[in-house]
């Protein structure tokens, strides 16, 4: 009987079994291990050389449920017996596995042994956990968007009512001041709500070819009007091709970055805006090359702490008394939606630098 099993295993399948992702263990009629592949050696923490010939009950002693499964499978008719459980290791850690025991029989029904397969489920469980997490995130986003929408609706009514109060005949100075504060606070709340909607909303897709220099020039004139004391230095590469994007959303990114730079800059110290072409990336297997251009906004302010390099992009992270901490989070989201990225770094000579990269997609055959 053992001979029959050896013959069975010695055939061409041995190599195939060795390379299978699942752990495979074959037991002879007495319950001794006759074959185990590399994955089985890894999962059971026994080398095949030492395990072969020894009883499965000894090799799997930490996991009596598997020994029991082998027993059940051996007595079963042709069909496999399945169980999921966790495999206990020498160190006390566990691996979730799907175990199957199958009786091996000759064509005439003579039993020759048992096959035990173990499928490692840790990757699958990790993937499922990640999917659950992203489902929860999108639920949260929907909730935030709904809430922001609901809060925004009554705000316009409240603003109108507050303004009406100021039209009352001869209001006291105190009443005028209070209604002014109400209007300002309502406006602040409204601004916060529209930023929240921006952060949690679905990406919009109105794309058109954009000359980034025209866009930057427009944002610079808006900021010059707001902060006349700040100078803006343009460091443009005039040969840049247009990008395909949403001009309103990209304007919003530039306003956020320039405004932050102005706020961080000591008075009279200029903010520098540079543009250039980045490396070309070929898209594997496709007739496409992704080319990126970049826009860098640099200031010579105090910069940020090293450990905050990523944290500043988190929603609600702010070090300003009147800040919302949403500007950079929204800007990064918009850059990502355009297939680009937004990164921050400290300038070697002090100050902060924010780099937006945006793709210009062209067919390789068409060059350009
Ligand atoms: P807010 O401006 O409302 O605080 P942002 O998301 O735009 O929100 O910025 C988050 C934080 O990132 C800021 O509060 C600040 O701490 C930091 N930050 C942003 N831009 C700069 C900059 N140019 N220099 C230094 N720190 C910056």
**pLDDT tens digit string along 61-75?**
999 999 999 999 988
Distance from Cα 328 to the centre of ligand 1, integer Å: 7
Q: How confident is the model at residue 87 (pLDDT cuts 50, 70, 90)?
A: very high
What is the Cα 292 distance to its own chain's centre?
A: 21
Domain 208-363 has CATH 2.60.40.1120: no
352 alpha carbon to ligand 1 midpoint, in Å?
A: 10
Region 346-364: mean pLDDT is 84
Q: Regarding predicted confidence, which is higher, 198 or 256? A: 256
State which of 328, 334, 352 you would mutate to test the pocket of ligand 1, scoring each by most atoms of that ligand within 8 A of its C-beta.
328
The chain-wide mean pLDDT, for the chain, equals 86
Is domain 125-200 in CATH 1.10.287, yes or no? yes
- Judged by DSSP in three states, 248 sits in helix
Contact 176, 168 (CB under 8 A): no
The residue whose CA has the least distance to atom 7 of ligand 1 is 327
pLDDT, residue 363, reads 47
Q: Pick the residue with more confidence: 40 or 135?
A: 40
Ligand 1 midpoint to CA 319 (Å): 7
* Assigned CATH for 3-120: 3.30.450.20
Backbone angles phi, psi at 235, to 5 degrees: -125, 70
Task: Render pLDDT for 132-181 as a digit per residue (tens, 0 to 9).
Answer: 776 776 777 778 878 888 888 888 888 888 888 878 787 788 888 888 88
Tell me how far the alpha carbon of residue 256 lies from the centroid of ligand 1, in angstroms: 9
> Please, are residues 3 and 17 in contact by the beta-carbon 8 Å criterion?
no
Q: Does 10 or 208 have the greater pLDDT score? A: 208
Which among 312, 313, 335 is the best mutation to test ligand 1's pocket, defined by most ligand atoms within 8 Å of the CB? 312
Query: pLDDT over 70 for what percent of the chain?
Result: 89
Please name which of 294, 314, 289 lies closest in space to residue 304, comparing C-alpha atoms.
314
pLDDT number for residue 301: 96
- Both tokens of residue 101? 């025991």
Ligand 1 pocket member 299 (CB < 6 A): yes
Q: Which atom of ligand 1 is nearest to the CA of 256?
A: 7
Q: Is 260 a pocket residue for ligand 1 (Cβ < 6 Å)?
A: yes
| Nearest CA owner, ligand 1 atom 19 | 260
**Nearest of 197, 115, 210 to residue 153 by alpha carbon:** 197
Which residue's alpha carbon is at the smallest distance from atom 23 of ligand 1? 261
Per-residue pLDDT at 285 exceeds 60: no
Strands 208-210 and 111-120: unpaired
* Res 352: pLDDT: 97
Map out the domains of the chain as residue ranges.
3-120, 125-200, 208-363
If one residue of 304, 322, 345 were mutated to test the ligand 1 pocket, choosing by the most ligand atoms within 8 A of its CB, it would be 304
pLDDT winner (highest mean) among 52-56, 279-283, 313-317:
52-56
């Amino acid at each position: 009987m053992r001979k029959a099993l050896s013959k069975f295993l010695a055939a061409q399948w041995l190599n195939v079994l060795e390379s299978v992702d699942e752990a495979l263990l074959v037991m002879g009629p007495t319950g001794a291990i006759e074959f185990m592949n590399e994955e089985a050696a890894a999962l059971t923490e026994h080398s095949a050389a030492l395990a072969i010939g020894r009883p499965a009950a000894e090799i799997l002693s930490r996991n009596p449920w598997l020994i029991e499964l082998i027993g059940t499978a051996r007595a079963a008719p042709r069909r496999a017996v399945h169980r999921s459980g966790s495999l206990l290791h020498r160190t006390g850690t566990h691996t979730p596995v799907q175990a199957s025991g199958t009786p091996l029989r000759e064509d005439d029904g003579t039993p020759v042994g048992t096959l035990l397969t173990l499928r490692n489920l840790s990757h699958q469980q990790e993937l499922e956990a990640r999917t659950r997490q992203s489902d929860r995130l999108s639920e949260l986003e929907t909730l935030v968007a709904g809430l922001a929408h609901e809060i925004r609706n009554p705000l316009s009514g409240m603003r109108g009512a507050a303004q009406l109060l100021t039209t009352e005949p001869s209001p006291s100075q105190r009443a005028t001041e209070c209604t002014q504060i109400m209007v300002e606070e309502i406006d602040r709340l409204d601004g916060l709500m529209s930023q929240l909607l921006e952060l949690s909303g679905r990406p919009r897709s109105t794309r058109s070819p954009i000359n980034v220099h025209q866009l930057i020039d427009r944002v610079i004139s808006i900021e010059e009007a707001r902060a006349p004391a700040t100078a803006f230095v343009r460091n443009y590469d005039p040969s840049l091709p247009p990008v395909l994007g949403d001009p309103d959303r990209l304007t919003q990114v530039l306003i956020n970055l320039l405004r932050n730079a102005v706020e961080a800059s000591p008075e009279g110290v200029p903010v520098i805006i540079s543009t250039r072409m980045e490396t070309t990336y070929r898209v594997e297997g496709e007739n496409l090359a992704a080319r990126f251009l970049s826009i860098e906004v640099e200031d010579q302010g105090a910069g940020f702490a090293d450990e905050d390099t990523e944290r500043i992009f988190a929603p609600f992270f702010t070090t300003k008394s009147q800040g919302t901490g949403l500007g950079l989070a929204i800007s990064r989201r918009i850059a990502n939606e355009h297939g680009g990225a937004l990164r921050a770094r400290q300038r070697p000579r002090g100050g902060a630098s924010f780099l937006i990269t945006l793709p210009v997609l062209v067919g390789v055959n068409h060059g350009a």
